[in-house]
Amino acid sequence: MFCPSILGGEWRSTLSIPAYILLLITPGAGLAYIATIPTTTLSTYKKQILSIPLLVVDILTTVLFRTDFILIDFMMPACTFIIFCRFLELIWTGPLIYGREAYTTKGSLHTEFWSCIRYFPKPAKKHDVSLKKNQIEYVKDKKFYNILPMLMYYIVGWDILATWLTTFTRDDIHNINRDKSLVSFIVYYITLVILNNAGNVIGCIGQLIYVLYYEGGTYSSGQWRDLMNNPMFSTSISDYWTHRWQQIMRPTFLALVYRPVSYYCQKLLSKYTRNTAIYSQGLSVLAVFTLSGAMHEYIAFCNLGWPTHSKIFLGEQQLLFMLYAPLIIFEKALRSISYRCLPLSFIKSFPVQCIQRLWAMVISYIIFSRILETFTYSGFRFRLPFTILGPQIIEFLRQTPALHGLCGSLLTTLST
């Protein structure tokens, strides 16, 4: 018998948030348990067999189920996709490619999980006067409550800007993106600020949990970084994705596709050329963005449902993300030529820096605004499950005619 829930979107069964979260973490916890069992106790072959149903359950959970909170529904498919990919590499592709055992330690998983917001340097050697690279001794100089002001700053900023964004319907956003008007750029830029704030809210909450649970309420400020580092100020497309966008997926993408593609490229091309690095790096970057595109296709499918996704958006996320790869390769080539042919003082000059930021901003606007349109189609506006200043912001916008041209068609109908 056909199960309508497999279509995703509005056909998914609705669960309470606790039940939904429990259902999501169960297969991941099972996979982590299997991966950390020594292969002397449980062989790689047995781990692979046991992992199959858990991997299937993991990737199907967000297709079949949802909650009443759209923010959670949009975040969780990315989580299940990353869990699927990470343990696929640990248990299946890693052993097949490199011939290693399907095993990792709890400490390695712990470090990898938190590395997106916390540095884990190698400990300094005792009695070593000069600390070597990556051997830093951090001094705990902050208390847990020092995290709270920044957390509130990001929450309030997120609430204010997301409230403004809710004045736009999906048709409003489609029309302004088609016209490429000033409002279109403002919507894109503010959405980027919202995503920056939202990511850092998650990062601050994660930091607070870690500091209270693992560090007893005190921490070293030098060991922590923001989950999002203001991508709207990027100096290049590479800077945008490598340093400023959230790095939650980075370890998984590196392990599952970047390193294997680089490994095979260098192995195959070494017979024909000595300069294998250029080709292997280019193909590895393309592989990473191909996987990233697949993840966003999966998120869109889960939330829009197969009928809508297949009819309007199928393949769009994949293509848009893959476009980033040749742009990054072009940037790296241009950078290499520039440093060989031009004075460093010119490269670092203010006009050149402005051109670099303008390039990153325009390219990101052209591509990323299309990426975002897929998700705003379903009514997603990056809003918090609660609001602090929402009614006041709506009323302020209504009472300020000069701002009406920068708001959507729902401004007059939204309840306060």
Both tokens of residue 148? 């709270």
pLDDT recorded at residue 378: 74
CA distances from 159 to 197, 201, 348, 374 (A): 9, 11, 37, 22
Phi, psi angle pair for 247, to nearest 5° = -110, 25
pLDDT recorded at residue 252: 93
pLDDT recorded at residue 179: 79
- Which of helix, strand or coil describes residue 310? helix
Question: Smallest Cα–Cα separation from 150: which of 228, 241, 231?
Answer: 228
Strands 218-219 and 13-14, by their bridges, are unpaired
Residue type, 154: Y
Distance CA 257, CA 287 (A): 6
pLDDT recorded at residue 124: 52
In terms of C-beta density within 10 A (0-12 exposed, 13-18 middle, 19 or more buried), how is residue 299 classed?
A: buried
What is the 8-class DSSP label of residue 274?
Answer: S
Distance CA 197, CA 182 (A): 23
Question: Smallest Cα–Cα separation from 309: which of 295, 298, 323?
Answer: 298
pLDDT recorded at residue 1: 52
CB 164 within 8 A of CB 393: yes
pLDDT recorded at residue 382: 65
Distance CA 97, CA 264 (A): 9
Question: Smallest Cα–Cα separation from 198: which of 235, 155, 260, 144?
Answer: 155
pLDDT recorded at residue 38: 97
List the chain pLDDT tens, one digit each, 416 residues: 556 668 888 899 999 999 999 999 999 999 999 999 999 999 999 999 999 999 999 999 999 999 988 888 989 999 999 999 999 999 999 999 999 999 999 999 999 999 999 998 765 555 555 555 556 678 899 999 999 999 999 999 999 998 998 888 888 888 888 877 788 888 889 989 999 999 999 999 999 999 999 999 999 999 999 999 999 999 999 999 999 998 899 999 999 999 999 988 988 887 787 777 788 889 999 999 999 999 999 999 999 999 999 998 999 999 999 999 999 999 999 998 999 999 999 999 999 999 999 999 999 999 988 888 888 887 766 666 678 888 899 999 999 999 998 888 888 887 66
Domains of the chain: which residue ranges? 4-104, 136-228+387-416, 236-385
159 Cα distance to chain centroid: 20
Question: Smallest Cα–Cα separation from 7: which of 311, 309, 306, 313?
Answer: 306
What is the chain's alpha carbon radius of gyration, rounded to the nearest angstrom?
23
Residue type, 152: M
| pTM given for the model | 0.91
Distance CA 55, CA 31 (A): 8
Bridge-partner residues for 13, per DSSP?
A: 65
pLDDT recorded at residue 274: 75
Distance CA 226, CA 204 (A): 8
